[in-house]
Structure 1
Amino acid sequence: MKTRILWMTFALSVLPAGNSFGCPPGEWLQQGAGWQMCVPIPGMQNPTSGPPSAAPVWATRWGAIAVNESDIAAGVGSASGMEGKRLAESAALRACREKGITGCKVKFTYKNQCAAIVWGDHGSNVSGAASIEMATRVGLDKCVKDKDTNCEVYFTECSYPERLR
């Protein structure tokens, strides 16, 4: 019996206190004269914190606008959100032709931004910028600078980058 009590006393003195004193998983009790606290177990990750979040990865997205230079009022063919410049241009030309417009040509190609067509009584321009509002403002300013009259926005579209992760 005396041996059994000695073994139990020994076992209790060498077993880690850890969770029996309220430490969360992955931590153990550290104590000194008159104090005690839970500290992380060396080499173990804190289970409540996940892996560090990775920086976002963005993919470029292209857009294009195709028109008939001699008669922009006939319509516009456009494409946005495309993975490459050539894909965007081909899609814009196809969209232009599908509307029955002849003589379609790519007038503007852009990536990760917006585009606006502004026209006046004497001509048109296409501008690109970070937002529709900015592209519109740039186009209207060009129209006024060229001393055109009755400047107005004819078409806008955006092709923003796509977040992959």
Structure 2
Amino acid sequence: MPPGQYPIGDSRAPGCAPIPAGGGASEAPRATGRWIKTWGAIATSSTGASGTVAGEVKKSDAAKKAVSECASSGARDCRVSFTYKNQCAAAAVPSSGTPGTSFGSAATEELAKM
């Protein structure tokens, strides 16, 4: 997660949101621990099924869980299409023209969509 952002949503629809500005007289508390690096993954199927997961410590766990979520809808050919680390991710499917899904990751949800 980039500075000034926090995770929102769940494994089916993860995202990022800005941390609201405080209006108090004292300085906000600061984190003193170590940042935990996390992985996310998106799995897709030729049937149109998909599965997503975010917040996993291991890349392999993120991939397995995304494939499992995709397969839970009955799809048999789910494969990991995209993985990302410590970022927001977005997927776009064109409504016309060349078929296929495009993926992006960036520090914020807005940048990932570009």
SS state of the match for residue 74, structure 2? coil
Partner amino acid for 2:37? T
What's 1:66 paired with? Answer: 43
What's 1:124 paired with? Answer: 101
Deviation of 1:89 after TM superposition, in Å, equals: 0.3
How many residues are paired up? 82
TM-score by length of 1: 0.46
Q: Which has the larger radius of gyration?
A: 1
Which structure shows the higher helix fraction? 1
Gapped runs of 5+ residues in structure 2? Answer: 1-29
Could you say what the CA RMSD is over the residues aligned between the two structures, in angstroms? 1.7
User: Which aligned runs of 4 or more in structure 1 are off by greater than 6 angstroms?
Assistant: none
Partner amino acid for 1:94? S
- Pairing of 1:4-15 with structure 2 (within 5 A): none
Specify which structure has the bigger relative contact order, considering alpha-carbon pairs within 8 angstroms and separated by 6 or more residues: 2
Does residue 95 of the first structure (1) align with residue 44 of the second (2)? no
What's 1:146 paired with? Answer: none
Distance 2:70 2:82 in 1: 13
What's 1:115 paired with? Answer: 89
What's 1:86 paired with? Answer: 60
TM-score by length of 2: 0.65
Gapped runs of 5+ residues in structure 1? Answer: 1-52, 138-165
Q: 1:94 to 1:134 in 2, by over 3 A?
A: same
